[in-house]
Amino acid sequence: MLDSERHDESWWRQATFEGKSVAAALRARDMSLLFRFLRSHGYSRTRIAGCTGLAETRVRAISKGTQQVTAYEVLERIAEGLGIPRHMMGLAYEDIAVPPDKSHDNAPSLFAEEVPAVVTRDDVEQIISLASLLTSWDFAHGGGVARQAAEAHLRWAARLLRQRCADGLALDLFAAVARLGAVAGFMSFDANNQSQAQKIFEFSSECAATAGDPHLQAKLLSHRARQAIWCGSPSDALKWLDTALDLGRLTPAEQAMLYTGRARALARMGLRAETIAAVAAADRAFERVGAEPERPWMKYYDQAQHLGDTGHALFSIAMNGCATVEAIARLNAAINRHGDGYARSTAQSAIKMATLLMSQGDPAEASDLGLRTIRRLEGLQSARVVEGLRELVRVSGQHRSLPAVAELREAIFEATYA
């Protein structure tokens, strides 16, 4: 707390608010009730923000119940700042950072050294540079290659959140960690380590919310929606995307990304008209790209990316005979416009296009495109690309007697099952 007033454990245990036990709320980590209880005892939002290190807008949202606190790091700061005994909130007393991936317990740590006692601007810039580097690597090589390194970097960066920051750097640090978490989580998602990706996305979302950065929040909500769609929960994806769109102050590329995500979810639900309408909304938003500066992590969302992502969104309904020509046209344009640094995006669009061509009765062109794509996969490790190839095998079954299709199927088996 910023002043000398601190309450002992008995005060917290005996307190009630709105007919509920404050101690029970602490056990349940109901920060909304906690903050409203403190307001009733004379704490202003400014004071709570100062005690906990949260943005005042974040305190208001938590108090209203429109945002929840789930990240361990943030719960720790609330307990420490408000003088709440850690065990009353179920917090351990040992040093805990982002949960490591337990499947690699024997992997060497990349950061054995101690974190700095005071976080400086150079430390924050280092995290941002790491995020940019890993993002480029992910686009070019997929999440399977450097995922462990990204998570090790994130665990180190998360430890900095416990350190004292130079003046004015605290929110910048949370934003930088959120940005690094976005790429680390997406790498786990791309490698099909969904439980780890979910943990990282949740942690990073809390960091973005603490930083008060709606642009980072929107990006992470988009990632969580993509994961929900992949895991078969398009309705959950729509909730994440609607939450992001409600943030306001979003750039045209961010809006296009989110409307495209809505189209993906709606297509998975079989809602054809709604999918086409969402793609149209994404197109309208993309037409305004360039009207204002985009955030650094959105620079990838160029015309090729937009065409590819909307083509992917249309794919699910195109497989059932709706908007097939439009989906193929968008995917083909994306393939031709992606640069060399976007090997995964190019491969994904090519595989989706080949699958559509195969399903629509053009096995020769589909096989040619599929074989050309497989020959370019060297150095790319992506579970999502592998799953796309396996879907192409399933769709090609009806044409397996054709020599070109047989060659394609054999090449896919060697690339994905060997």
Question: Which residues does 236 contact at the CB level (< 8 Å), separation at least 6?
Answer: 225, 228
Query: By CB neighbour count within 10 A (0-12 exposed, 13-18 middle, 19+ buried), where does 205 fall?
Result: buried
- pLDDT at site 10: 81
Q: Cα–Cα distance between 45 and 60 in angstroms, integer?
A: 7
238: nearest Cα among 271, 206, 212, 190? 271
- pLDDT at site 309: 98
Burial 353-367 (b: 16+ CB within 10 A, else e): bbbbbbbbebbeebb
Q: Are strands 20-21 and 118-119 parallel, antiparallel or unpaired?
A: unpaired
Q: Cα–Cα distance between 334 and 326 in angstroms, integer?
A: 12
Per-residue pLDDT of the chain (418 residues; tens, 9 = 90+): 334 456 777 889 889 999 999 988 998 889 999 999 999 999 999 999 988 989 989 999 999 999 888 887 888 889 988 988 876 786 644 333 444 444 444 433 444 457 888 999 999 999 999 999 999 999 999 998 789 899 999 999 988 888 888 888 889 999 999 999 999 999 999 999 999 999 999 889 888 988 889 999 999 999 999 999 999 999 999 999 999 999 988 999 999 999 999 999 999 999 999 999 999 999 999 999 999 999 999 999 999 999 999 999 999 999 999 999 999 999 999 999 999 899 999 999 999 999 999 999 999 999 999 999 999 998 899 999 999 999 999 999 999 999 999 999 999 999 886 5
- Element (DSSP H or E) covering residue 164: strand 164-165
Q: Cα–Cα distance between 312 and 322 in angstroms, integer?
A: 13
- pLDDT at site 113: 55
Contact 223, 178 (CB under 8 A): no
Contact 337, 134 (CB under 8 A): no
CA 105 to chain centre: 24
The DSSP letter of residue 94 is: S
End-to-end CA distance of the chain: 59
Q: Cα–Cα distance between 48 and 129 in angstroms, integer?
A: 32
Q: How many CA atoms within 13 Å lie on the side-chain side of 11?
A: 11
**Which sign does the torsion angle of CA 165, 169, 171, 175 carry?**
negative
- pLDDT at site 73: 80
Question: Which residues does 232 contact at the CB level (< 8 Å), separation at least 6?
Answer: none
- pLDDT at site 72: 76
pTM of the model: 0.77
